[in-house]
Amino acid sequence: MHSYLIEYYEKCKSGEILIGRELMMQLEMLMEDMNNPIYRFDTAEAHKRIQFIEKECKHSISPFAGHPFLLELWQKAYLEAKYSFYMMIEGKWLRRFNRTLLVIGRKNGKTTLCAADGLAEFFCGNTGTNILCASNDYEQAGLVFDEINNMREESPKLAKVTRKNIKGIFMGNPKQKKKKGKFSYQNKAKIKKLSAKTGAKEGKNVDKAIVDEVHEMKDNSLVAPIVQSTSTKDEAMVDEITTEGFTEDGYLDEEMKEARKVLKGELHRPRRLYWLYTQDSETEVWQDRKSWVKSNPNLGVAKKWHYLDDLIEEAKTNSATRAFMLAKDFNFKQGSANAWLQDAEIINAATFNIEDFRGAFYIAGNDFMETTDLCASKLLLMKPGDKTVYFYSHYWIPEAKLKLSPDDVDYRQWERDGYLTIVEGNSVDSSVVADWQFKLLEEYDLKPFKSGYDNRFAKDYINRFEEIFGKDILLNVPQDAKVLNNPMRRLEADLRDKLVNYNNCYGDMWCFKNTGIKLDALGRMMPCKMHTTKRIDGTAAAVVAYAVFDWHKSEFLQLIGG
């Protein structure tokens, strides 16, 4: 019988199909194993599932909704690899692979493929097959489950012998309760979903589990109980499917370390299959458009070339897009802190005289210190008809911290330059920031329109500020990606376009250079430290100021006559 796996390998080997080194290493190991007497290679069960998918399963999502699911060669090869290898276990020839890991760029149809695989197992597998769709949260787990159900409903033949309720999908039609056989109530096969937050993960007796987006998991608290629940089954399989992500030292990190050791021959894991669509280098992403198919095997089929073309161009000038794209489209792990801006984008020698803003209104952004951090306040100022944002900054640091500080900066020079106050003792009372702002009111008639702050460590500032300026000016700016994403993106764009004049303040420039970005699962960013000893308080204050500016832009511009 024809082997899709061998066909795929030969086309990859010849260069007709382009794949990365890691997948080629796995394919070469599988080719060698075909001639290894400890394994048997029989495609019957794999081809039964492939034929079922192409005959019975239909797409449910535009632009292919209602069309038969015709598998690509890579998909057939993947399914054949999973189901065609057997090894002698406890005196029986049993299916070899019980754990698989598929890493693939987003929008390459992994959810649809795994849903079709799950539905095929439901019908082609043993009577009483127990299938589990799992993920870090219930909504994500529902994606594969819902797609399985969509395929079930699209086929009159499958819908006729199955049913769905709030507990799951089950074999048997309520109108044919007396019917006997595999496709009746006699068969207790079921498909359910499970999240990491669900209790009682043990005792599920799973035949097949599809664990989606494992890159979000911090540990194996979801996967381990699922694997344990397969222990009573001869031919159970746990499929883990994912893109790369941002979770530092997470579950996927350990899985990928082990996978790479196995592929290099440093570890022996005969029952694990690693199907990794990864690039060979980040450089090729930017320089070789053809290489994109290494992490996107469905590029040109489900995923569009023009989509990646546009994304690459945006990523060249947008740090969050770059980090998110490299993780999600090209499977490069992104650390918890990725560089925000290049030095050339930050440096701006432009200066201004604060006297020019005498009598003006400003928006303040404040970041209050935690232990050894700086305390920072920035006044965001603007001129009528001028798109430039002017930052007038000041910093505070406890004198006791100077001796302990690992920073490679001369805080005494900052003090001599006039933008740092060294405070006696071990900490900074945040009320000094309100006093500084009051001093600017006295000296330059600078008046706060709004003042943004983070709740942490702000109590003394709030009390003092309200005594001086009243209650209606203060605004709390929560420090999370949902709030900070848009203002940080706008600040980034303005810095690149040299529309931020920070008066050539070295402290501001230093903080900007130290800043990394941390992305959440939706690609929203917020500032974080690139290094634990490098401070970013000036950046945090600037982002807070931009957040307040976003919320009250029209009022502020009207106030200043813009």
H or E element, residue 474: strand 474-476
Q: 334 in a domain, yes or no?
A: no
pLDDT in tens, the chain (562 residues): 799 999 999 999 999 999 999 999 999 999 999 999 999 999 999 999 999 999 999 988 878 888 899 999 999 999 999 999 999 999 999 999 999 999 999 999 999 999 999 999 999 999 999 999 999 888 888 999 999 999 999 999 999 999 999 999 999 888 777 678 888 888 889 999 998 776 545 547 899 999 999 988 999 999 999 999 898 899 999 999 999 988 888 899 999 999 999 999 999 999 999 999 999 999 999 999 999 999 999 999 989 999 999 999 999 888 889 989 999 999 998 765 677 998 899 999 999 999 999 999 999 999 987 645 689 999 999 999 999 999 999 999 988 777 656 667 888 899 999 999 998 888 888 899 999 999 999 999 999 999 999 877 788 899 999 999 988 899 999 999 999 999 999 999 999 999 999 999 999 999 999 999 988 878 899 999 877 667 899 999 999 999 999 999 999 999 988 6
User: 374 and 301: one domain?
Assistant: no
H or E element, residue 415: helix 411-417
What domain count does the chain have? 2
User: 353 and 238: one domain?
Assistant: no
Q: 423 in a domain, yes or no?
A: yes
User: 134 and 187: one domain?
Assistant: yes
DSSP state of 332: -
The SS3 of residue 105 is coil
> Which of 297, 328, 359 is the last residue before a domain boundary?
328
Task: Please give the C-alpha separations between residue 410 and each of 140, 247, 379, 407, 506, in angstroms, as whole numbers.
Answer: 49, 35, 23, 8, 11
SS (H, E, C) 123-192: HHCCCCCEEEEEECCHHHHHHHHHHHHHHHHHCHHHHHCEEEECCEEEECCHHHCCCCCCCCCCCCCEEE
Only one residue has tokens 């024809």, namely 2
H or E element, residue 323: helix 319-328
User: 302 and 348: one domain?
Assistant: no
Task: State the Cα–Cα distance between residues 511 and 500, nearest whole angstrom.
Answer: 14
Strand order in the sheet with 515-519: 338-339, 515-519, 525-529
Q: 511 in a domain, yes or no?
A: yes
Q: 474 in a domain, yes or no?
A: yes
Domain of residue 292, residue span: 4-328
The SS3 of residue 96 is coil
Q: 335 in a domain, yes or no?
A: no
CA 233 to chain centre: 34
Task: State the Cα–Cα distance between residues 161 and 272, nearest whole angstrom.
Answer: 34
Residue environment code for 358-386, b if the CB has 16+ CB neighbours within 10 A, otherwise e: eebbbbbbbbbbeebbbbbbbbbbbeeee
> Which of 298, 328, 358 is the last residue before a domain boundary?
328
Q: 336 in a domain, yes or no?
A: no
> Which of 300, 328, 356 is the last residue before a domain boundary?
328
Task: State the Cα–Cα distance between residues 95 and 84, nearest whole angstrom.
Answer: 7
Q: 158 in a domain, yes or no?
A: yes
